């Protein structure tokens, strides 16, 4: 399965490392889903914690806060660790947003990894009139795809019956 390796690493790092509560740094409600993805990428490249948090959905923030609480560190400390671990080369040069599909209060932005050629579908949700990245939903979808692939490619389980010779 082709994926945005760097984006997935960043999201997973945030999932397990966590980040803190949302800040007052707000994108305009007129920002499109693609604008929000671009804002996230640019903020990540700048290592701007407040701007990254402003692009994330409440569900995503809750997921990150729960993970951060387990580490017993401040949100800023874990975010700085995550940036040091994953943004050495920058996302902007790697991610090319593509087709945007909006259905009610949900959206998908197709994004292409310019290095691998892989395409991912990045989900967003509309909250309080503004689009937010739903990495919690992205990870749920990723896990579901992995489970499905494992079902397809996994060999059948061994039989518990003992063979007998006659």
The predicted-structure confidence for 10-69, as pLDDT tens digits, reads as follows 554 444 333 333 334 567 778 999 999 999 888 888 888 899 889 999 998 888 787 788
Can you list the positions of beta strands (E) in the chain?
A: 95-103, 106-113, 119-127, 130-133
Chain-centroid distance, C-alpha 71: 20
The per-residue b/e assignment along 36-69, b for 16 or more CB within 10 angstroms, e otherwise, is bbbbbbbbbeeebbebbbbbbbebbbebbeebbe
How far apart CA 86 and CA 69 sit, in angstroms, is: 21
Domains of the chain: 5-153 (3.10.450.50)
Residue with tokens 């991912």: 120
The predicted-structure confidence for 92-126, as pLDDT tens digits, reads as follows 667 888 899 999 999 999 998 888 888 999 999 99
């Amino acid at each position: 399965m082709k994926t945005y390796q760097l984006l997935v690493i960043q999201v997973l790092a945030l999932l397990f490392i966590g980040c803190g509560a949302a800040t007052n740094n707000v994108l305009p409600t007129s920002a499109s889903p693609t604008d929000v993805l671009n804002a996230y990428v640019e903020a990540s490249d700048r290592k701007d914690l407040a701007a990254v948090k402003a692009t994330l959905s409440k569900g995503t923030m809750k997921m990150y806060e729960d993970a951060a609480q387990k580490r017993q560190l401040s949100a800023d400390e874990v975010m700085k660790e995550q940036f040091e671990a994953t943004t050495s080369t920058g996302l902007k040069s790697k991610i090319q947003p593509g087709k945007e599909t909006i259905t009610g209060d949900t959206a998908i932005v197709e994004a292409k990894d310019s290095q691998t050629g892989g395409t991912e579908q990045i989900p967003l949700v509309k909250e309080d009139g503004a689009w937010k990245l739903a990495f919690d939903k992205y990870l749920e979808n990723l896990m579901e795809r992995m489970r499905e692939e494992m079902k397809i490619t996994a060999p059948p389980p061994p039989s518990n019956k003992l063979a007998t010779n006659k």
